[in-house]
Amino acid sequence: MPAIVRYLITTADERSWKFDRPVIFLGEWCRTFDRKHIWQDMDAIVAPPYGLGQLNKDADNAEARVIEERLFLILCDSLNQFHGTQNDSRFWRMVLGHWLRRYVDAILNRIKTLEQCLQTYKISGTTAIVGYNYTLATMDSYEAIWAFSDKRWNNQLYVSLLGQLSGNNFPIEVVEGDESEGFNLPIVISELPLQQKIFAWGYRQVKKLACLMARNGDAFIINSYLPKKEEIKLQLAMGQVPQLWASPKYILTKKADYALRQKLGGQLIGKSSDIHFEIMCALLFELLPACYLEGFAELVDKVHNLPWPKNPKFIFTSNNFDTDEMFKLWAAEKVQSGAQYITGQHGNNYGTHRYFAHPSIEEVTADKFLTWGWSDGMQQHVPAFILNLARRNKSYYQPNGDLLLIETSPSHMLCTWDTNAEFMVYFEDQLTFAEKLENRIKKRLIVRLHHEHVNSIWKEQLRWARFDADVKLDTGSLRIRQLISQSRLIVHSYDSTGILETLSQNIPTLAFWQNGFDHLRDSAKPYYQLLVNAGILHLTAESVAMQVNEVWCDVDSWWQRKEVQDARNLFCERFAKISENPIKDLKTIFYENI
């Protein structure tokens, strides 16, 4: 253990920083790029990242899933007792399963990050930003996603965890904070042009009229991930008046009750020798969203007033199963009454990722889960096709066009490992890729930033400008399909939905990322190896840049090679299947499975 005693900084909130002594930043998330002029001259080090590497991720994932299941059974019993209900486990998993999984993964990460730091360094104390009415409990599961990455929220969480780990003997200084500080939810305020306002008004009127013709026994289809035109055609094919259902916005008046939560949480602790499980029990009701506790009865009332079918033939969604509290509660009630529940794949990672969606809550809770072509041993799996590309006009590319690099952004701090540390390496790989391109190609490079870059602490625009001000960035001003149509070669720098879309449409595609196949489940690895063998997928930035340089002058000749097309076809048949008759295929799937 180093001899220097350091003061612990847990977040980027500078009210908790000390400038007159040696400090240790708990992670890179504390040091935002746009504040480098502040922290670069401090007597500071950064604690090593926690949980990286497949062995660590495997071990933590296994521990998290065991804790999740134990907590879930406790939570079901506690909530049924509190609300005076007898809802079954499937009901509660549909309602709050996604939140609980994120809670377990994120809290396990915070606990082990602190444990690693405290075991490695001499720490003199930390600072808590306190507010009399500040609470870690969010209103719903969507707000919770943003809270897990919020600097003020994490400060309070880390202080609470330090108390748990040290028996409340950890030295903590206090500074006053505003209890009204929120969770940095993205706020988009824009005035619609008159034409769009008129269209929106007309759209609402059509929806109201169609709603009057809905039948209680109709299939309930909401956010299917099909293009809207195809969703309408599907409902017509099923003999019902098309509905474009959407959950209404709602505001719950009930707020988190601290005394109630302390009482409920106190009933859970002291029953296990597993310190990680004990801490999660202690914090469970402190973090539980209000819509599942104080606001649950209010939410139930709102759900019972929805103008949705009373006895739906079946329920189908590819999106609303996660953070749509109104839909989840409504669907859980209907399923408990006997309705068939069908969910669909929303993007990549399903069927491939070692940790995310393995299996997902929406797979476990559904009667049937429609995949984009694959099946992995669960009785719920029904191989289908890429829903969002159904009958969509094919995207085209420009054989003499630009080079398009499609980036991701840092994920929310929801994993068992340090995603910020991984993103730091990821971004360096982006710069390496650009640096290794031939100058004539680099001049044609367009970097498409992820749409969430505006909410990121990483300031990718600023970083790219510091690297090379001449690199062209697209921040979302153009539609991605338009960028693709202007490009001769698409490079995806992460394992993304975009890869599945461009490969399935036979658009010249390259991909690269760090850590090889570590994030893949074993059943998916042979298919990704096909892409590696064909020169489509690369595992270093240098390798993919070399491939771009090699094929740039005649991309089509490389792309149309038999070995490249064979690899693409085999991969797409498994993970990115296209349907020639999507409505007929879906209708058949539904009628065979209800």
Tell me the per-residue pLDDT of 235-249, one tens digit each, with 9 for 90 and over: 999 999 999 899 999
Q: Mean pLDDT for the chain?
A: 93
101: DSSP letter:
H
pLDDT of 395 reads: 76
pLDDT of 177 reads: 82
Asked if the model's pLDDT at residue 189 lies above 70, the reply is no
Per the CB < 8 A criterion, the answer to whether 90 and 336 are in contact is: yes
CATH number of 402-575: 3.40.50.2000
Residue 123's H or E segment, with its range, is: strand 122-130
pLDDT cut 90: percent of the chain above it: 84
Asked if the model's pLDDT at residue 188 lies above 80, the reply is no
Cα separation, 38 vs 317, in Å, equals: 47
Model confidence band, residue 182 (pLDDT cutoffs 50, 70, 90): low
End-to-end Cα, the chain, rounded Å: 62
Asked if the model's pLDDT at residue 202 lies above 60, the reply is yes
301-328 pLDDT, tens per residue?
A: 999 999 999 999 999 999 999 999 999 9
Cα separation, 430 vs 21, in Å, equals: 35
Cα separation, 469 vs 466, in Å, equals: 6
Asked if the model's pLDDT at residue 354 lies above 90, the reply is yes
Cα separation, 498 vs 509, in Å, equals: 10
Assign 3-class secondary structure to 329-343. Answer: HHHHHHHHCCCEEEE
pTM of this structure: 0.95
- One-letter amino acid of 75: L
Residue ranges, comma separated, of all CATH 3.40.50.2000 domains in the chain are: 402-575
pLDDT of 179 reads: 62
